[in-house]
Each structure stands twice: as C-alpha cells, then as structure tokens.
Amino acid sequence: MRTAFVENLLEVARSRDDIILLTADLGYSVLERFREALPRQFVNVGVAEQNMIGIAAGLADLGKTVFAYSIANFPTMRCLEQIRNDVCYHGYSVRVVSVGGGFCYSTQGYTHHGVEDIGVMRTLPGMIVLAPGDPVETACATRALCNVSGPAYLRLGKAGEPRVHHESIDFRIGRAIEIGGGDDVALVSTGGMLVHALETAKALNDEGIGTRVLSMHTVKPIDEDAIRRTLASMRVVITIEEHNVGSGLGAAVAQVVAAYDGPRARFRMFGIPDSPYRRVGGHQYMREIMGDLRRLAKTTLKVDG
C-alpha cells in the first residue's frame, strides 16, 4: 500500500506543484523517490508531528494540497488538537496519512498500534476518512484525494497487503465496492482486512453459505445506500476491521442500522474488543484477539435460522 501511495502521488505531483508531501522523519526506503524527483515539494520536518500538522495547515492556507505522512497512531492521536483546530476548523486541504494501521507494527507494542484512529478521525467535522483494502484501492484513493478539497485521513497498511482487484474498479469516495454474490452473509470490510474477508467468504461459499463482500474503503462519508440495500437483502451482515469495534467501521454502520426501519439482517461487528490488552507479538498473533470470523458468521446465521 505504501508503494502504491507514493508512486501515484508522485505521478500526480509531477504536473502539479501545489501538491506537497511532509514527513516526520519517517518513510525511509519508501519516500526517497518522491524527495529525489521533487525536492521542492517535499519537507522532512523531523520528529515533530504536531509541528508537521501546523506546517501543513500553513501551506494549505497558501493554496497547497498537503499530504502529512507518519506511522500508525502518531499523526492522529499525538496531533489531534492541531488537526481539529488548525486543519478542520479552517477546512484546509490537508491529508493526514497514517501508515501501519491496526496491528501492522505489532511487535512495537500498544504505543505503535493504530487501533482507535478511524474512530477519532471520523468524529472531526468535514473529515473524509479512507481506509483502502489493497494497492489498487490505495492508488485510486491517493489520486482521488488530490482532487477534492477539505481535510482527509488516509489509513494505509504495512503488512504486504496483496492485490485483490485484478481489473479496473469504479472507485468513488463514499461508495462501497461489492465483490461476489450470495444472499446469506455480507462481510463489510475496511482497510487491510479485505483479503481476510474474501478468504472467509470463499470458505463460507464452499460450505454452501452464499456470501458477498463489500469493500467499505470510505468510512466517512459512509455509503448508507449500500448498507441499507445489504440489510434488506441479506440474512446476516458483519463489519470487519482491524480497529476498536466501539468507534470505527462497525460503529459507523451501526448508526445506519439503528435508523433503518425496514426488514433487516442480523448485524454483528468483528474487530478489536473495546477492552485493554497487553499482548505483544507478530501481526497474526495479535489478530487472534479479534476471534474467529467464520465461526461468528455461521453462529449468527444459525441463530437467524
């Protein structure tokens, strides 16, 4: 995802000198190609994330479209006040880019886990929140953010997320991408959990449980129409995210579910439990905290039946 982000941003920026990339002394082996190609459009502000957001706001005030890049939760949690006051209050075109969302920096411990970022960012006024599911969606999201105004948050993985889409996609901010058919279970995924959702869907389909996947690459504005259609046509709907279930995709979809008056599927949320954890280990080991998605789907479907 990081490579897709940098390559596409660089391609657009070559013909647009208003695009600026900032980093807080991170991104080595990834951002050099941008710095070497467009040194006047790249600034390393040092280990000073809060200053980075202030600089980004100042550049945006001059008409620039600014991408501020850092790792996991640092550009969001550490900089929340600056994002809220300096960026959102003025509606500036600053894109906060977080690499390593979820447990990607698993062995670094809780300080490096980005597990509340989507929830925090989606509460801010006017903030677009994107969490693409693979490199193809990342490329589309990056290009889209070069052409919209106002603040935005782009959450990237760092776990070697594979390419899921092998054909061109109709990527639009605020519109989910539907993959597959089936009318039993819908798995609504955001971010790097897309491949896990598709693997689970295949396993369920092989068992005769008709399953489809929705890639909800935009958490804000959420695709309410897609959610309502899915609620009306499926037996079970499950949101999937490598994020705290109390505030991220699941919470955003739950708001739509709560306001929906028609016949609807059973709704469940799959993600990181909203409770303290002190585990440290590999990425897959940390994901075990979330439980067994296939079992959740089958259990909920059985209850429904």
Q: How confident is the model at residue 303 (pLDDT cuts 50, 70, 90)?
A: confident
Q: For strand 177-179 and strand 185-189, is the pairing parallel, antiparallel, or unpaired?
A: unpaired
The owner of tokens 């411990």 is 109
Average pLDDT, the chain: 96
Looking only at Cα atoms, what is the longest distance across the chain?
62
Q: Is the pLDDT assigned to residue 29 strictly greater than 90?
A: no
Q: How deeply is 270 buried, as exposed, middle or buried, from its count of CB atoms within 10 A (0-12, 13-18, 19+)? A: buried
Q: Is the pLDDT assigned to residue 305 strictly greater than 70?
A: no
Q: How confident is the model at residue 72 (pLDDT cuts 50, 70, 90)?
A: confident
* pLDDT at residue 37, rounded to an integer: 97
Find out whether the peptide bond into 221 is cis, omega within 30 degrees of 0. yes
Per-residue pLDDT reduced to its tens digit, 123-175 = 999 999 999 999 999 999 999 999 999 999 999 998 788 999 998 999 999 99
Q: How far apart are CA 228 and CA 223, in angstroms?
A: 9
Q: How far apart are CA 92 and CA 197, in angstroms?
A: 35
Cβ-contact 222, 258 below 8 angstroms:
no
List the domains of the chain with CATH numbers: 2-156 (3.40.50.970), 177-304 (3.40.50.920)
Per-residue pLDDT reduced to its tens digit, 256-289 = 999 999 888 999 999 999 988 888 999 999 999 9
Q: How deeply is 276 buried, as exposed, middle or buried, from its count of CB atoms within 10 A (0-12, 13-18, 19+)? A: exposed
Q: Is the pLDDT assigned to residue 304 strictly greater than 70?
A: no
* pLDDT at residue 263, rounded to an integer: 87
Q: Cα angle vertex 108, ends 252, 268, to 5°?
A: 25
Q: Cα angle vertex 176, ends 170, 178, to 5°?
A: 80
Provide the b/e sequence for 134-153 (b: ≥16 CB within 10 Å). Answer: bbbbbbbbbebbbeeebbbb
Six token digits for residue 223: 């695709």
Beta-bridged to residue 65, according to DSSP, are: 19
**Which of 139, 74, 112 lies closest to 286 in space, CA to CA?**
112
